[in-house]
Amino acid sequence: DADVTQTPRNRITKTGKRIMLECSQTKGHDRMYWYRQDPGLGLRLIYYSFDVKDINKGEISDGYSVSRQAQAKFSLSLESAIPNQTALYFCATSDRTEGSETQYFGPGTRLLVL
Protein backbone atom coordinates (compact mmCIF):
# COMPACT_ATOMS: atom_id res chain seq x y z
CA ASP A 1 0.00 0.00 0.00
CA ALA A 2 1.09 3.55 -0.67
CA ASP A 3 2.64 5.46 2.23
CA VAL A 4 0.88 8.74 1.34
CA THR A 5 -2.64 8.55 -0.04
CA GLN A 6 -4.91 11.27 -1.34
CA THR A 7 -8.66 11.22 -1.91
CA PRO A 8 -10.28 11.85 -4.25
CA ARG A 9 -7.84 11.42 -7.14
CA ASN A 10 -10.02 13.48 -9.46
CA ARG A 11 -12.75 15.96 -8.70
CA ILE A 12 -14.96 18.24 -10.76
CA THR A 13 -16.88 20.93 -8.93
CA LYS A 14 -18.69 24.17 -9.61
CA THR A 15 -17.82 27.71 -8.68
CA GLY A 16 -18.91 28.52 -5.13
CA LYS A 17 -18.98 24.95 -3.87
CA ARG A 18 -17.09 23.87 -0.77
CA ILE A 19 -14.83 20.88 -1.25
CA MET A 20 -12.35 18.98 0.85
CA LEU A 21 -9.27 17.10 -0.27
CA GLU A 22 -7.93 14.51 2.13
CA CYS A 23 -4.47 13.17 2.79
CA SER A 24 -3.44 10.22 4.94
CA GLN A 25 0.01 8.81 5.64
CA THR A 26 1.37 5.66 7.21
CA LYS A 27 5.00 6.82 7.37
CA GLY A 28 4.71 8.05 10.94
CA HIS A 29 5.98 11.50 9.95
CA ASP A 30 5.04 14.51 12.02
CA ARG A 31 5.24 17.11 9.24
CA MET A 32 2.71 17.41 6.44
CA TYR A 33 2.33 19.81 3.51
CA TRP A 34 -0.15 20.82 0.82
CA TYR A 35 1.07 22.08 -2.57
CA ARG A 36 -0.60 22.99 -5.79
CA GLN A 37 1.01 22.43 -9.18
CA ASP A 38 0.29 24.62 -12.18
CA PRO A 39 1.96 24.29 -15.59
CA GLY A 40 5.09 26.43 -15.79
CA LEU A 41 4.95 27.37 -12.11
CA GLY A 42 6.22 24.24 -10.43
CA LEU A 43 4.80 23.43 -7.00
CA ARG A 44 3.77 26.14 -4.59
CA LEU A 45 3.21 25.64 -0.87
CA ILE A 46 -0.32 26.29 0.39
CA TYR A 47 -0.17 25.21 4.05
CA TYR A 48 2.10 23.14 6.21
CA SER A 49 1.85 21.54 9.63
CA PHE A 50 4.77 20.55 11.83
CA ASP A 51 2.54 18.69 14.28
CA VAL A 52 -1.14 18.39 15.15
CA LYS A 53 -1.23 21.72 16.96
CA ASP A 54 1.02 23.64 14.59
CA ILE A 55 -0.40 24.87 11.28
CA ASN A 56 1.21 27.53 9.12
CA LYS A 57 0.35 29.42 5.97
CA GLY A 58 2.49 28.90 2.95
CA GLU A 59 3.10 30.98 -0.12
CA ILE A 60 -0.45 30.92 -1.48
CA SER A 61 -2.93 30.25 1.36
CA ASP A 62 -5.70 32.68 0.34
CA GLY A 63 -8.94 30.83 -0.43
CA TYR A 64 -7.80 27.67 1.34
CA SER A 65 -8.01 26.27 4.85
CA VAL A 66 -6.64 23.11 6.44
CA SER A 67 -7.32 20.76 9.29
CA ARG A 68 -4.85 18.38 10.95
CA GLN A 69 -7.20 15.83 12.45
CA ALA A 70 -4.45 13.51 13.62
CA GLN A 71 -0.76 12.98 13.04
CA ALA A 72 -1.63 10.87 10.01
CA LYS A 73 -4.34 13.06 8.46
CA PHE A 74 -4.19 16.52 6.91
CA SER A 75 -7.15 17.90 4.94
CA LEU A 76 -7.31 20.85 2.57
CA SER A 77 -10.57 22.74 2.07
CA LEU A 78 -11.68 25.20 -0.54
CA GLU A 79 -14.46 27.14 1.17
CA SER A 80 -15.86 28.58 -2.04
CA ALA A 81 -14.16 27.17 -5.09
CA ILE A 82 -13.24 29.43 -8.01
CA PRO A 83 -11.99 28.50 -11.50
CA ASN A 84 -8.40 29.65 -10.88
CA GLN A 85 -8.15 26.99 -8.18
CA THR A 86 -8.20 24.41 -10.95
CA ALA A 87 -4.88 22.62 -10.45
CA LEU A 88 -3.14 19.45 -9.39
CA TYR A 89 -2.87 19.25 -5.60
CA PHE A 90 -0.21 17.28 -3.76
CA CYS A 91 0.15 16.29 -0.15
CA ALA A 92 3.61 15.53 1.23
CA THR A 93 5.16 14.41 4.50
CA SER A 94 8.58 14.69 6.11
CA ASP A 95 10.32 13.57 9.26
CA ARG A 96 11.90 16.25 11.44
CA THR A 97 14.38 13.76 12.85
CA GLU A 98 15.90 13.39 9.38
CA GLY A 99 18.36 16.24 8.96
CA SER A 100 17.60 17.01 5.34
CA GLU A 101 13.87 16.36 5.72
CA THR A 102 13.20 14.69 2.43
CA GLN A 103 9.55 15.12 1.48
CA TYR A 104 7.47 12.17 0.30
CA PHE A 105 4.57 12.93 -1.99
CA GLY A 106 1.14 11.45 -2.53
CA PRO A 107 -0.19 10.69 -6.02
CA GLY A 108 -2.06 13.98 -6.33
CA THR A 109 -5.65 15.15 -6.70
CA ARG A 110 -6.65 16.70 -10.00
CA LEU A 111 -9.29 19.39 -9.37
CA LEU A 112 -11.38 21.13 -12.01
CA VAL A 113 -13.55 24.06 -10.97
CA LEU A 114 -16.16 24.99 -13.55
Partner 1 sequence: AQSVTQLGSHVSVSEGALVLLRCNYSSSVPPYLFWYVQYPNQGLQLLLKYTSAATLVKGINGFEAEFKKSETSFHLTKPSAHMRDAAEYFCAVSLGNQGGKLIFGQGTELSVKP
Given the rule CB under 8 A, which residues bind partner 1? 4, 31, 33, 35, 40-45, 48, 50, 58, 90, 92, 94, 96, 99-108
Q: How far is the CB of 16 from partner 1 (least distance, A)?
A: 29
Q: How far is the CB of 18 from partner 1 (least distance, A)?
A: 25
5 with 105: CB under 8 angstroms?
A: no
The residue (of 85 and 103) whose beta carbon lies closer to partner 1 is 103
Query: Distance of CA 5 to CAs 27, 90, 99, Å?
Result: 11, 10, 24
23 with 106: CB under 8 angstroms?
A: yes
- Would you mind telling me the total number of residues written for the chain in this entry? 114
- Indicate the Cα dihedral angle 3, 4, 7, 9, nearest 10°: -100
The residue (of 6 and 85) whose beta carbon lies closer to partner 1 is 6
Separation CA 78–CA 105 (nearest Å): 20
The residue (of 14 and 27) whose beta carbon lies closer to partner 1 is 27
The residue (of 9 and 18) whose beta carbon lies closer to partner 1 is 9
Q: How far is the CB of 31 from partner 1 (least distance, A)?
A: 5
Q: How far is the CB of 85 from partner 1 (least distance, A)?
A: 19
- DSSP letter at 30 equals S
